[in-house]
Amino acid sequence: MKRLFHLSTIPRQLQWFNDDWDEVIEFIKKNNIEGVELGLTADYPLHKIPKEIVEGVHLSFYPMWIDFWNNDLDKVIKLLGSREAVHDYYGGFDKQAIIESYKLQYQRAKELGAKYMVFHISHVLIEDSFTFSYAYSDEEVIKASIELINASFEPDEDGPMLLFENLWWPGLTYLRPDLMEELIAKVKYPHKGYLVDISHLILTNPNIATEDQAFRYIQKVIGQLGDLKNSIRGIHLNKTLPKHYMQRDHSYTLKKYQEASQKHLKNKILKSHIQQMDPHQPFDHDAAKKIIELIKPEFCVYETSPSTRYELAYFIKKQNIALGVQQKTI
């Protein structure tokens, strides 16, 4: 199993390393890790990135995209506020914009020699994330996702694995093995499998309050997958314990979001809401090791949300200790 950390080419994260990939390589060696899963922005020059450290590429994700995919432009304009906002969000005004985006990301992942790509299978409207009442079913999201994937990724024997990631919103949640079977069967791209985001799986059970409860729940869900478990090739290792926040009534927060007059205020409320559910904290408990032993992934990505390079190193150390690959220092 290769242990990786998630690194994005957004300026804020690259500034941690002075936009110097030699510093990234040194950081990898110093922190007892083996490479990166790259969040690759569309315009970052590939020649700057050392291929030998890139194991995977995390593809972009449009949280609300099915109405756009279905060419319901009037609804999308209403959701986003203007035609300009639609273009900013999707890069165009019809589904071909999304397809071309993924085609470009696919080519860039191949150029980097990535072994896998991560693709979210989900859809959620902003206000639905507060109410937990959703516009589309798991079946509808899976069906649309198959259409999008088949339009974006041509069968290519030399391409990286395409790994489908779960969320707690409609789509791939790991709670419906029948839909997982359908996804694998109907996606034409030959190299495909699954990636389990640990926090996202935990969030499908809002009663979880402890790490031990989290492991028992994950053990139950993975145990129900049968042979599909063998298609899980990677995990995103991170932690959330959602009971305290998920069981609240979020109607007041939703009202604040709806009444906020400025876009940056709306974004602040939404970001805080999502982060409280899914804080991407390091999994600093021996349950992390049990999860690894249960799933046996090829790739374990430390996908956390540090605010500095030093916090990133601290989070990596915590998960290394939890997995038993590094000794705790006094």
* Tens-digit pLDDT profile for residues 269-300: 999 999 999 999 999 999 999 999 999 999 99
Comparing CA positions, the residue from 48, 80, 7 lying closest to residue 315 is 7
- Tokens 């593809």 sit at which residue? 59
Kindly state the percentage of the chain with pLDDT values over 90.
Answer: 96
Cβ atoms of residues 228 and 177 within 8 Å: yes
Q: Which residues contact 315 (CB under 8 A, 6 or more apart)?
A: 281, 282, 302, 304, 306
Q: What pLDDT score does 157 carry?
A: 75
Digit-coded pLDDT (tens) for 18-54: 999 999 999 999 999 999 999 999 999 999 999 999 9
Digit-coded pLDDT (tens) for 189-234: 999 999 999 999 999 999 999 999 999 999 999 999 999 999 999 9
In DSSP terms, 195 is beta-bridged to 165, 234
Q: How confident is the model at residue 323 (pLDDT cuts 50, 70, 90)?
A: very high
Mean confidence (pLDDT) of the chain: 96
Comparing CA positions, the residue from 80, 197, 183, 76 lying closest to residue 138 is 183
Q: What's the average model confidence in pLDDT over 175-200? A: 98
Domains and CATH numbers, the chain: 2-323 (3.20.20.150)
Dihedral sign computed on CA atoms, order 94, 179, 121, 45: negative
Give the C-alpha separation, 111 to 103, whole Å: 12
Q: Which residues contact 271 (CB under 8 A, 6 or more apart)?
A: none
Q: What pLDDT score does 156 carry?
A: 77
Q: How confident is the model at residue 329 (pLDDT cuts 50, 70, 90)?
A: low
Comparing CA positions, the residue from 303, 323, 305, 316 lying closest to residue 30 is 316
How many helices (H) and strands (E) in the chain?
16, 8
Segment holding 164, helix H or strand E: strand 161-165
Comparing CA positions, the residue from 237, 13, 234 lying closest to residue 114 is 234
Helix pair 83-90, 73-80: axis angle to 10 deg: 100
**End-to-end alpha carbon distance in the chain:** 28
Which letter does DSSP use for residue 300 in this model?
Answer: E
Cβ atoms of residues 63 and 122 within 8 Å: yes
Max Cα-Cα span within the chain: 60
Q: What pLDDT score does 330 carry?
A: 53
Q: How confident is the model at residue 326 (pLDDT cuts 50, 70, 90)?
A: confident
- The alpha-helical segments, DSSP class H, found in the chain are 11-14, 21-30, 66-69, 73-80, 83-90, 96-111, 128-131, 138-152, 177-186, 198-202, 211-223, 243-246, 251-259, 263-277, 287-295, 309-323
Any idea of the CA torsion for 48, 49, 52, 53, to the nearest 10 degrees? 140
Question: pTM above 0.95?
Answer: yes
Q: Cα-flanking dihedrals φ and ψ of residue 126, to 5°?
A: -55, -50
Segment holding 2, helix H or strand E: strand 2-8
Q: What's the average model confidence in pLDDT over 107-121? A: 97
